[in-house]
């Protein structure tokens, strides 16, 4: 009898330990599970030449929220895809995006993450905008003009005013939501020629961008997707008149000849 008492105590303590550990692990498992979502993927290669999408062509694909494509279709909304045609070829096991499906209603709000606002931005030079696509990541640079008063020796005279231009990064990494007609598809005839796109920002950044467009010239710079470098404004610094003057330091002036090479013989 004496030998069984320690055994019973050991068993009870073991059960208590197992119960305690299971309670500690379960919240973590449920927490990790909440970071994932199931989206629609293809079981086979689907091309625009194929018949309409069949139910058995679709399969759920589990993906982490932080890696979720902007226009991925939740598995719970797979019925919106069935019976539709695709606009592009979708590889086997690849995501089916809402922008891939012809006739599927696209809502810009679905492309936003929690805490994000969609904001239009117009760039001073639209050249790069013509090459951008929804989902691309860009940096937004701004050129501003500041005025500096230079007091004359005679303080009774009005001070001279000099303007200084400076360029810096206001948003190092911004995700493009849409360009063109609001359906998430980039076409050659779409808008964008005027330099306007839709980007995703948090509320404070959105307010800053709206204000900046009124007083600054804005320019985009295309980033590599998921590039983790230069994510802080100070990483890039500021370029002003002093920066441009320093580019000329220790450089000898070039003398341009009167004649162009190869033309001297023709002039004789």
Q: Model-level pTM?
A: 0.56
Residue 171 backbone phi and psi in degrees, to 5 = -135, 110
Domain-embedded: residue 232: no
Q: What is the CA radius of gyration of the chain?
A: 30
Q: Looking at the predicted structure, is the pLDDT value of residue 13 above 50?
A: yes
Domain-embedded: residue 45: yes
Direct distance between the N- and C-terminal alpha carbons of the chain, in angstroms, rounded to an integer? 126
Of 105, 121, 139, the one marking the end of a domain is: 105
Of 36-45, 168-177, 187-196, 223-232, the range with the lowest mean pLDDT is 187-196
How far is residue 105's CA from residue 87's CA, in Å, rounded to a whole number? 14
User: 74 lies in which domain range?
Assistant: 32-105
How large is the average pLDDT for residues 228-233? 88
Q: Looking at the predicted structure, is the pLDDT value of residue 116 above 70?
A: yes
Cα distances from 193 to residues 126, 131, 139, 143, 257, in angstroms, run 6, 10, 19, 21, 41
Domain-embedded: residue 11: no
Q: Looking at the predicted structure, is the pLDDT value of residue 254 above 70?
A: yes
Say what the pLDDT of residue 120 is: 93
Domain-embedded: residue 239: no
Residue 61 backbone phi and psi in degrees, to 5 = -125, 125
Say what the pLDDT of residue 29 is: 45
Q: Percent of the chain scored above 90 by pLDDT?
A: 29
Same domain, 90 and 115: no
How far is residue 186's CA from residue 88's CA, in Å, rounded to a whole number? 12
Where residue 56 falls among pLDDT bands split at 50, 70, 90? very high
Looking at per-residue pLDDT, the higher value among 2 and 56 belongs to 56
What CATH number does residue 51 fall under? Answer: 3.90.1210.10
Domain-embedded: residue 65: yes
Of 71, 105, 139, the one marking the end of a domain is: 105
Domain-embedded: residue 50: yes
Q: Looking at the predicted structure, is the pLDDT value of residue 159 above 80?
A: no
Of 105, 130, 149, the one marking the end of a domain is: 105
Domain-embedded: residue 128: yes
Residue 165 backbone phi and psi in degrees, to 5 = -100, 140
How large is the average pLDDT for residues 166-173? 95
Domain count, the chain: 2
């Amino acid at each position: 009898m004496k030998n069984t008492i320690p055994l019973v105590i050991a068993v009870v303590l073991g059960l208590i330990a197992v119960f305690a550990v299971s309670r500690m692990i379960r919240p973590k498992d449920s927490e990790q599970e909440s970071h994932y979502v199931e989206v629609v993927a293809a079981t086979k290669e689907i091309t625009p030449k194929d018949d309409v999408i069949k139910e058995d062509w679709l399969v759920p694909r589990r993906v982490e929220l932080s890696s979720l494509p902007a226009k991925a279709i939740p598995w719970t909304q797979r019925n919106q895809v069935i019976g539709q045609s695709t606009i592009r070829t979708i590889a086997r096991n690849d995501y089916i995006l809402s922008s891939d499906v012809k006739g599927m209603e696209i809502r810009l709000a679905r492309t936003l993450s929690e805490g994000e606002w969609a904001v239009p931005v117009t760039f001073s030079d639209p050249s790069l905008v013509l090459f951008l696509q929804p989902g691309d990541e860009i940096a937004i640079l701004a050129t501003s003009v500041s005025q500096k008063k230079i007091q004359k020796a005679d303080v009774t005279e009005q001070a001279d005013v000099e303007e200084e231009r400076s360029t810096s990064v206001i948003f190092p990494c911004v995700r493009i939501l849409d360009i063109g007609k609001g359906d998430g598809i980039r076409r050659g005839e779409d808008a964008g020629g005027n330099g306007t796109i839709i980007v995703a920002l948090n509320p404070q950044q959105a307010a800053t961008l709206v204000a900046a467009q009124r007083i600054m010239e804005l320019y985009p710079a295309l980033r590599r997707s998921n590039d983790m470098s230069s994510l802080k404004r100070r990483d890039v610094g500021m370029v002003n008149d002093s920066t441009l003057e320093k580019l000329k330091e220790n450089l000898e002036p070039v003398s341009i000849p009167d004649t162009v090479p190869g033309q001297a013989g023709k002039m004789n």
